[in-house]
Structure 1
Amino acid sequence: MSEFECKVVTIEPLTANVQRILLRPENAPDFKAGQYIRVVMDEGDKRPFSIANAPDESGLIELHIGAAEHNPWAMQVIEKMQAEKSIVLDGPHGNAFVRESTPHPTILMAGGTGFSYTWSILQQLLKSALKEPLFLYWGTRTAADMYALEELEALAQQHPKFKFIPVLESPEKGWQGRTGLVHQAVLQDFVSLEPYQVYIAGRFEMAGAAREDFHQQGLMLENLYGDAYDFI
């Protein structure tokens, strides 16, 4: 793990409050799908973000940053990238990367921009034909916040063993999909989680509730992965 400089290639909006950033490292680091980097604001201020892409030949690093005026912690990162056109990162970090050595049925679960973590893992797993079922549950407040909805629906059509389940907390009139809390949707769909690997990203409260409830529903905790579990 070391610091490296990146050129800012693009910053583009995914929603009113989420920016997609593409960075080109001078020397691309080796990383695994599901790891994160830290943006170096100064020596004592390094801010973590999940890498949103799987490793590929482009050498790029993609980030999805939720940044609004009420979130200066993230807004300052965007503003620094816009002003300086380059940024120093350190990493990669994290032990919640995808495990591919022994295929398992797998559940990816994300809340909000925690989706970037699961998006990286999903891209990695779809590089080869799926041997086991793969589910992605993504919970957002509204449909407008679910910026990859159409792309994920298309991937579910292309890959028979992959199923995408969107879950909205505050659905608009006419929404035909699932509603409520995303981890509750998982609990409703599986009688037992014992055979599954589960990867989770989102608010710490969600991750903590999911760990307890999924374990009660049979999930072995050694098969549960998420960076939140280093802190809660």
Structure 2
Amino acid sequence: MSFNVSVLPSGRSFTAEADEPLLAAAIRQGIGLPYGCKDGACGSCKCKKLEGTVTHGTHQRKALSAEEEASGFILTCCGVAHSDVVLESRQVTDESAFPIKKMPVRVTSLTRASGDVMIVRLQLPASDVLKYHAGQYVEFLLRDGDRRAYSMANAPHMQLENPGLELHIRHMTGGKFTDHVFGAMKEKEILRIEGPYGSFFLREDSDKPMVLLASGTGFAPIKALIEQMQHKNITRPAVLYWGGRRPADLYMHDWMQSKVLEMPNLRYVPVISDALPEDNWTGRTGFVHQAVLQDLPDLSGYQVYACGAPVVVETARDEYSALAGLPAEEFFADAFTSEADKAGAV
């Protein structure tokens, strides 16, 4: 049995099987609903159910609270239809849905960017191409069936001069995949990936000034966006607020400073939360999302692109809307949910 799912205000529709998550059905049919983790942990796919019956699988209460669910909100990544359904949801445009592919990749280089960040470059098959938007991610398909997601840190056009994918991988102590990356992984190793995934990418049809917000390796997709802006000669004002605990966490600080010199409409505000005396840090301190509010108390005319730790993304989403007037539809995010984050699902 299948059910019809209509999406307003676009009027687009797709069918979902009786046991199929709504998001999976939409992706399968090229309907670009917003999403991030696909695991019920980040809340990026949350939307309003106007009609019909939907039940939820395992998910985080912070992604969808009982109160929100009672008010008709659902998570499409783990919501299953039991009747025809009408949703109200922002979505990507038709032409933005690139085909999702599985393919082998070869590790071409491993570069330690900081004590716990590895820049991994992957070679794609010579006979294949991976089309993606700057800001999207791929998933590694592990041998036991598990998956690990990482954003591309290079914009698609960079393939012309330096083919392959650039990923920024932070070491999570005890992490099944990252322990391997920082331990046994060697150049020429073959891995399998699937993608592209995610609805985080630059909305080029807007002329609003942009706040780019990154914590830690949340800089990776932001870097791709900046490369895309430069390539497309997008001159909208943009400012990157990049936060880390210690200065070493801003592992491409010099790269960012050079981009600011090349791009007159781009500013860069590094923010450190736990600087020690030996760091000799003289820049901004505190929480990175709060630095934005200190400098820009009125965000009503902005777009915000936020990436990194879920607590940073979620707090920014809430406070920028409540305190600075940011329209909810102008906040675009990719929360980097770890396996530990997902383990708290209910």
**Bigger CA drift: 97-106 or 182-191?**
97-106
1:224 aligns with 2:325: no
% same residue = 31
> Which residue does 2:202 correspond to in 1?
98
Query: 1:152 aligns to what SS in structure 2?
Result: helix
Counterpart AA for 2:291: A
- The 8 Å contact of residues 81 and 87 in structure 1, kept in 2 or not, is answered as no
> Which residue does 2:168 correspond to in 1?
64
Counterpart AA for 1:36: Y
After superposition, what is the alpha-carbon deviation per residue over 1:33-66, rounded to whole angstroms, capped at 9, x for unaligned?
A: 0000001112621110111110021331100001
Give the CA deviation at 1:76: 2.9
1:163 aligns with 2:262: no
> Which residue does 1:82 correspond to in 2?
186
Query: 1:212 aligns to what SS in structure 2?
Result: helix
Query: 2:186 aligns to what SS in structure 1?
Result: helix
1:18 aligns with 2:125: no
Partners of 1:148 and 1:24 lie apart in 2 by 22
Matches within 5 A, 1:179-198: 179-198=285-304
Greater relative CO (CA pairs within 8 A, separation 6+): 1
Give the CA deviation at 1:81: 4.2
Match of 1:215 among 321, 333, 339: 321
1:154 aligns with 2:258: yes
Compare CA radii of gyration and give the structure with the larger one: 2
Give the CA deviation at 1:77: 4.6
**Bigger CA drift: 17-26 or 38-47?**
38-47
Change beyond 3 A, Cα 1:47–1:68: closer
Question: Where in structure 2 are there 5+ consecutive unaligned residues?
Answer: 1-99
**Bigger CA drift: 150-159 or 162-171?**
150-159
Give the TM-score taking structure 1 as reference length.
Answer: 0.92
Give the TM-score taking structure 2 as reference length.
Answer: 0.63
After superposition, what is the alpha-carbon deviation per residue over 1:177-215, rounded to whole angstroms, capped at 9, x for unaligned?
A: 100100000010112111111111111111111110010
The number of equivalent residue pairs is 232
What do you get for the CA RMSD once the two structures are aligned?
A: 2.2
Match of 1:46 among 141, 147, 161: 147
Question: Where in structure 1 are there 5+ consecutive unaligned residues?
Answer: none
After superposition, what is the alpha-carbon deviation per residue over 1:131-154, rounded to whole angstroms, capped at 9, x for unaligned?
A: 221111100111112111112112
